[in-house]
Amino acid sequence: MRIRSMKVAFIGLGVMGYPMAGHLQKAGHEVCVFNRSQAKADKWQAEFSGTSAKTPALAAKDCEIVFCCVGNDDDLRQVVLGENGILAGMPKGSILVDHTTASAEVAVELAGIAASQEQYFLDAPVSGGQAGAENGVLTVMVGGDETIFNKAEPVMAAFARFSQLMGPVGSGQLAKMVNQICFVNTVQGLAEGLNFAQKAGLNIDKLLDTIGKGAAGSWQMDNRGKTMCAREFDFGFAVDWVRKDLAIAFAEAEKLGADLTVTKQLDGYYKEIQENGGNRWDTSSLISRFKK
């Protein structure tokens, strides 16, 4: 179903935001972008024929929905708050959809400020990595009001194959923490299994094709199994970023009294990879700890 064209903004043109904003423009929306590096905004504008603004507030001016995807809590506050921030430019009744992987606390904080100005906020972290963003098939975990989610979801469909309202504001970020906990544990299991298979002399292509159809199958196996065995780690979601995400989960787990013993061990493995120069390798690099 085709939806009506809207005036929207996208703040943050990193490896995720750049293609996400492009999908919105290609879907027929009038997109204005802001990026702290103007050169990146200029490149996006030239590629997608949208517009760019000098501040987040100017990008958000007159927009029905503003999307945001930056690095962390501090980055988020910098682009949302203040006289040049998103909320200063957004009209009353408009929606800020934040795709940053951040803390649940900052989501609740910003939602409260937005509400005081008669604006709306959804925390909406995504899963699917750089490839998912480029192909427009991200999964979005959302926290906020159901009515507001229903207004934003058809627009998010430009870059997402599935979006789910998880609960009130902050719930999207909590769900993303669970996602990160689960996937790094999956990657470690895959790394150990594939290292075992290589040392046993098994045919990796046949192995993956076979066990991928059974209980061991996963997205990680389908998309990273062969590249892990080839020691290729240039697929977007960097070790630096997963450790940032896990730190958020550990802080929340401390408050909840949740046990993340194994995940903390894996975080230590990623720390080793960083210290050995692999900080920009993707998360499948856990297998690099094993000798071939």
- Rounded distance between C-alpha atoms, residue 276 and residue 51, angstroms: 41
Query: Across the strands, what pairs with 120?
Result: 95
Phi, psi of 137 (to 5 degrees): -130, 40
Nearest in space to 96 (alpha carbons), one of 127, 42, 57: 57
116 Cβ neighbours under 8 A, 6+ residues apart: none
Identified catalytic residue from 43, 92, 176, 264: 176
- Rounded distance between C-alpha atoms, residue 152 and residue 68, angstroms: 13
On whether the CB atoms of residues 13 and 21 are closer than 8 A, the answer is yes
- Rounded distance between C-alpha atoms, residue 266 and residue 283, angstroms: 11
Annotated catalytic, 54? no
Phi, psi of 163 (to 5 degrees): -130, 140
Question: Where does residue 217 rank: exposed (0-12), middle (13-18), buried (19+ CB within 10 A)?
Answer: middle
Query: Across the strands, what pairs with 34?
Result: 11
SS (H, E, C) 77-134: HHHHCCCCCHHHHCCCCCEEEECCCCCHHHHHHHHHHHHHCCCEEEECCEECHHHHHH
On whether the CB atoms of residues 283 and 135 are closer than 8 A, the answer is no
- Rounded distance between C-alpha atoms, residue 45 and residue 29, angstroms: 14
Active site residues: 176
